[in-house]
């Protein structure tokens, strides 16, 4: 079993929809949680960064971390065609030298 499981998708929504992207994990030592957006043939871009549990909002994006359930989510409000990309969750514990990534969810927002 992988340490990080991400909803595989692909996901297709109409413009303006609310999008929910999710990951679960098994390592209770994870403290840092990130969401990255990756356009085709580009490097991932950091969208959201959260330490420990709680919510964080940045514009149309909200990241939620529920450590008791080992579950993280990224919500995108008023989705736009420009949000069409692959979204990767990533997490790390305090001592690990590397982050563990989900396999990514490909999102298409149709105009």
Partner 1 sequence: GAVVSQHPSWVICKSGTSVKIECRSLDFQATTMFWYRQFPKQSLMLMATSNEGSKATYEQGVEKDKFLINHASLTLSTLTVTSAHPEDSSFYICSARQTGTGNEKLFFGSGTQLSVL
- Does 59 sit near partner 1 (CB under 8 A)? no
- 52 part of the interface to partner 1, by CB under 8 A: no
Question: Which C-beta is closer to partner 1: that of 16 or that of 39?
Answer: 39
* Residue 75 makes contact with partner 1 by CB under 8 A: no
Handedness of CA 88, 74, 100, 44 (dihedral sign): positive
Q: Which is nearer to partner 1, 15 or 45 (CB)?
A: 45
Give the angle 43-10-35 at the CA atoms, nearest 5°: 40
Q: Number of residues in contact with partner 1, rule: CB under 8 A?
A: 22
* 26 φ, ψ (degrees, to nearest 5): -115, -20
- CB neighbours (10 Å) of residue 35? 25
Hey, what are 109's tokens?
A: 């927002």
Q: Which residue is listed with tokens 């957006």?
A: 37
For residues 19 and 89, which CB has a smaller minimum distance to partner 1 in the complex? 89
Distance CA 32, CA 39 (A): 23
Stretch that binds partner 1, among 16-24, 44-52, 68-76, 77-85 (CB under 8 A): 44-52
63 CA to centre of own chain: 8
Residue among 23, 44, 79, 84 that touches partner 1 (CB under 8 A): 44
- Residues in contact with partner 1 by CB under 8 A are 32, 34, 36, 41-46, 49, 51, 88, 90, 92, 97-99, 101-104, 106
């Amino acid at each position: 079993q992988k340490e990080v499981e991400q909803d595989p998708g692909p996901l297709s929504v109409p413009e303006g929809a609310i999008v929910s992207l999710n990951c679960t994990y098994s390592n209770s030592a994870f403290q840092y949680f990130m969401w990255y957006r990756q356009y085709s043939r580009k490097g991932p871009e950091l969208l959201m960064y959260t330490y420990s549990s709680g919510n964080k909002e940045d514009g149309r994006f909200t990241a939620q971390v529920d450590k008791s359930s080992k579950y993280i989510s990224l919500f995108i409000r008023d989705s736009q065609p420009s949000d069409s990309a692959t979204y990767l969750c990533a997490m790390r514990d305090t001592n690990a030298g590397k982050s563990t990534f989900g396999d990514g969810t490909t999102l298409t927002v149709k105009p």
